[in-house]
Amino acid sequence: MREIIFDTETTGLDPKTGDRMVEIGCIEMVNRVATGRTFHAYFNPDRDMPMEAEKVHGLSTAFLADKPFFRDGVRDLLDFIGDSPLVAHNAQFDFGFLNFELAFCGHPEVGLDRMIDTLVLARKRHPGAKHSLDALCSRYGIDRSHRVLHGALLDAELLAQVYVELTGGRQIGLALAADTPGATGARDTRFVPRIGERRAPRPHAATAEELARHAAFIGTFESALWTS
C-alpha cells in the first residue's frame, strides 16, 4: 500500500486569519517502507513572515521572496501525492492549510477520509505520555540531533520512522518479498515442518531381569507401602 507522510511549515496557526503555507515536504512509503521518493517545495506566502513563526522554522520573508506561489507548484504536488492516504502529525492542522491553499487556487480539497493522524495513534498507544514529534523520537530511539529548527521535509522523514513504530515497529520489514507489489521470484520463507524417515518406537517395557532385580530391591524394605 502506498502512503504519503507529509509536513508543512506556515506563517502562523490559522489560514482563516490570513496565514499561509510556506513549505511542504512529502515522503513516499510503500508497505510502510520508504521508497526514497520525496517531494519538497518552498512557497512565497505573498505576505510578511511573523517573527514568532520565523523562530520556529527559520524561513524569512527575504528567503521566500523569490520562491514560487503555491498555485505555481500545485500540479507537481498533486501528481506526487496522487490518491494515496496522507499521514501527518496533528493532521488537522496540515490538512487545514493544504486544503485552504488548494481551494484558494481553484483545486478540489483533499478528502478527510484520506487523513491518518499520528498524534491520534500516539495518544491511543501511549495514553498519558508526551506525544510531540520530539518526544516520540526519543521514545523510539530515533536520532533527531540534526533537527535544530522545524523543516517540512526533515520532519516528514522523522515522522515516517515514528509512523512505522506506531503501526507495528521494524518487524513489519520482515514481511515476505512476495507481498511487495511487483516482486517476482521471491523465495518462500514460511516455516514448513520437515518430515523425514519414520523410526520404529524405542522399547520402553522392562525386561524379565529388570523386573526380578526390582522385586529383590523391594524385598529389602520391612514394610513397603506401595506393595500393601
Annotated binding site for substrate: 7, 9, 52, 57, 155
Question: 70-81 and 91-104 helices cross at what angle (nearest 10)?
Answer: 120
Residue type, 51: M
Catalytic residue among 107, 150, 204, 214: 150
Residue positions forming the annotated binding site for a divalent metal cation: 7, 9, 155
Cα dihedral 52, 53, 59, 65 in deg (nearest 10)? -90
CB 85 within 8 A of CB 116: yes
Which of 30, 23, 84, 28 is CA-nearest to residue 57? Answer: 23
Sorted by sequence, the CB contacts under 8 Å of residue 223 that are 6+ apart come out as: none
CB 64 within 8 A of CB 45: yes
Residue 5 bridge partners (DSSP)? 27, 87
Check if 146 is active-site. Answer: no
Residues in the chain: 228
* Whole-number Å distance between alpha carbons of 71 and 111: 19
Cell of 193: 515442518
User: Which 3 state secondary structure label does DSSP give 119?
Assistant: helix
* Whole-number Å distance between alpha carbons of 29 and 38: 10
- Which are the catalytic amino acids? 150
